[in-house]
Structure 1
Amino acid sequence: MPVELVRAPALSGDVPYAYAAVAPPGSLVFTAGACPLDADGAVVAPGDPRAQAEVVMANLVVALAASGCTLADVAKSTVYVASADRDDLVAVWQVVRSAFGDHDAPSTLLGVAALGYPDQLVEVEAVAVRG
């Protein structure tokens, strides 16, 4: 059974995501935060949140695949951007939304002071449901 995305009629319909998701009985998959790391463990594109977001989403797809899932199985994601600049948050959000396509599962977008690796600006974690 797929993830059921819930839209609350009493809340604004002008948001680009569902307000909640219901997971059927089965296996929940919790990813670690996907980071903008290359195959050697180096942070890519220092200073470029959009480019880092592209790598982060590609890495998230790989982690989900290794767990038997795709982005369409994600019930909830959290997007962290090490910036107080709203333009950076929006740029990252556009990359994340594009990767998810029509699957507009609930997501939280946060500007944070710092992330774990030097020069890291973006991290995305997800909860998915393996069918």
Structure 2
Amino acid sequence: MDFQKTKTLGIVLILFLLLLFYKCPIQSVTGLPCPGCNMKTSLYYLLHLNINKSLYYHALLIPSLILFVVCIVNYKNEQRVKGILIVWCILMIVYYMYRMIVYFPDSPMIYSKNNLIYLIFRHV
């Protein structure tokens, strides 16, 4: 595997891990949920076979996992991987806008007052 393909797979893996396992930097700074917020909760319920709650917290978790596996399997076809990632990004953005319109600021798209901007302006 050459360097470019390794780099692409590394970027996809890092994005996947950031979306699932780390505290959201966007929500930590702004208080607003990001497109990947609640994926970890969704994964928790999916692993406990509670599909309804998993879909409630983030309906694109299962397609994201499937697309991640497809990208790993098709790592040799760079055009296909790029196309899959573009489609995934578009789906995430559209689904994020839907969630912000329908759910925000209620569960699962909650505004967090424990963020940097709120803390700064609270003292001004």
What's the TM-score, normalizing by structure 2?
A: 0.29
Larger helix share, 1 or 2: 2
Larger strand share, 1 or 2: 1
What's the TM-score, normalizing by structure 1?
A: 0.27
Q: Which has the higher contact order (CA 8 A, sep 6+)?
A: 1
